[in-house]
Amino acid sequence: MAYFEWADDLEIDQGPIDDDHRKLVEQVNELHSATSQGRGQEIVGRLLEDLERDTVEHVRREEAFLASVGYPETAEHHEGHERFLGDLRRLRQRFDEGSVTVAAQLSQLLRDWLSLHIRRYDRSVRDFLQAQRRAGRGR
């Protein structure tokens, strides 16, 4: 069984944003199974590179989407994205410097990103869209 299961409450747009988040869940699971087999250190360098590249693309896509739907809290949301990217870059730097605890730190970072950012900030976008749809129907 996967370490982290995709759940309906993670759905935001039933489209590209969800696809990105699903991929992230796969990466979390990949890290977890590698770590539990003692292979965390083997894959963490490559995974950090992938995560950095995917996250840069994802936040660009997500922020363009937020702007297009007129979502109001973009500055705070944007800060969360920048912080996460900064954390990923710092971990890659530590990895490049030879740190052997990066896999565990990355695992913690991703867990927080899923449960604190995606489940809270990204989720509030879905609530916003639903409220808009309801308001639209009421007109």
Footprint on this chain of Fe ion (rule: CB under 5 A) = 62, 122
Closer to Fe ion by Cβ: residue 91 or 125:
125
Phi-psi region of 5 (alpha: psi -120 to 50; beta: other; left: phi over 0): beta
Provide the token pair at 8.
Answer: 């309906």
Terminal CA-CA length for the chain: 46
Closer to Fe ion by Cβ: residue 77 or 95:
77
What's the closest the beta carbon of residue 131 comes to Fe ion, in angstroms? 18
Q: Which residue is nearest to Fe ion (CB)?
A: 122
What's the closest the beta carbon of residue 113 comes to Fe ion, in angstroms? 9
Give me the sign of the Cα torsion angle 122, 74, 87, 51. positive
What's the closest the beta carbon of residue 53 comes to Fe ion, in angstroms? 15
Closer to Fe ion by Cβ: residue 40 or 122:
122
Number of helices (H), then strands (E), in the chain: 5, 0
The SS3 of residue 12 is: coil
What's the closest the beta carbon of residue 6 comes to Fe ion, in angstroms? 14
Closer to Fe ion by Cβ: residue 19 or 96:
19
Q: Which amino acid is at 124?
A: S
